[in-house]
Amino acid sequence: MGVMSDTALDFDVVDVFADEPFAGNQLAVVHGAGELPDDALLALAREFNFSETTFPAEPVGDRYRVRIFTPGGEVPFAGHPTLGTAWVLRERGLVSGDQLVQCCAAGEVDVRFDGGGVELGAVPRDLCGPVAPAVARALLADLGLGPDDLAGEVWLAGAGLTFVHLPVTDDAVSRARPSLRPVSEYAGDLPDCADPVDGINLHSVAPGDPLDIHARVFVPGLDVAEDPATGSAAVGLGMALVAAGRLPRGGEYLIRQGFEIGRPSRLRGRVDAVGGAATRCFVAGLVHPVARGTIRRP
């Protein structure tokens, strides 16, 4: 494995959180790029122009370090890049265990292989809210929605990348339009969080065991108008569901995402909770290979 020549890098493309290839969220995994400067890594991410591209280092045992870039810049943590990168490294024979540890800018993330799926486990980091009603109404307006579409408390939550979790009626999820306003512009009106906040997880919740979630995720501040499947948002959603009383003792939830943009995705989330507070968050899904090749070194 590694660099094919002095001017080219190996890469894999996989579809994550997909029931079949050519669905879910696309991910490019570029090998042997660890010594490139940040502007070169960003150039590669923009060339693929997926919501994320990862740059893993050579694993040491069953541990590996990875950097994650969107077309707009680096992020400390993301869900589908975590699952997809682990799957690619294992498929290439660079790791062999059923349990791995990914080291990223947000810290260590556990990754587990179970049958045909991959699951990450993360420690909750940010939980802030509920958001003031006036701010919730402004966020809804950015998405072309009105106050009557709101269906519960709005929380900020995440495990390395924090999202605004905006609950609405199910028909409002489909009616929403992508916002062009970065969430960072609301910084003075939102509760203070430790991690970056620049995405909206618009979602509806239907009762059941597990809960049925219909979600759309918008990250305009990182040049991702709408994300097909967002594991980091799914992780934070578990925390928000506990805080809002939807899963006070923890539990499971299934997320449908990406259908409105032709990239149907399914994510399986679960959250552990003690005393009405989330203690650990998990999200799982399938990974499908779609391409392998080389790309010119910037």
Catalytically annotated residues = 52
Separation of alpha carbons 89 and 24, rounded Å:
19
Burial 34-55 (b: 16+ CB within 10 A, else e): eebeeeebbebbeebebbbbbb
Q: Residue type at 120?
A: L
DSSP at 5? B
> Parallel, antiparallel, or unpaired for β 8-16 and 25-30?
antiparallel
Separation of alpha carbons 183 and 136, rounded Å:
12
Burial 207-228 (b: 16+ CB within 10 A, else e): eeeebebbbbbbbbbbebebbb
Which of 182, 193, 121 shows the shortest CA–CA distance to 157?
Answer: 193
20 by Cβ neighbours in 10 Å (0-12 / 13-18 / 19+) ranks as exposed
Which of 219, 142, 214, 213 shows the shortest CA–CA distance to 176?
Answer: 142
Residue-wise DSSP of 50-95: SSEEEEEPPPBTTEEEEEEEETTEEES--HHHHHHHHHHHHHTTS-
Q: Residue type at 251?
A: G
Give the end-to-end CA distance of the chain in Å, rounded to a whole number: 19
Separation of alpha carbons 78 and 107, rounded Å:
12
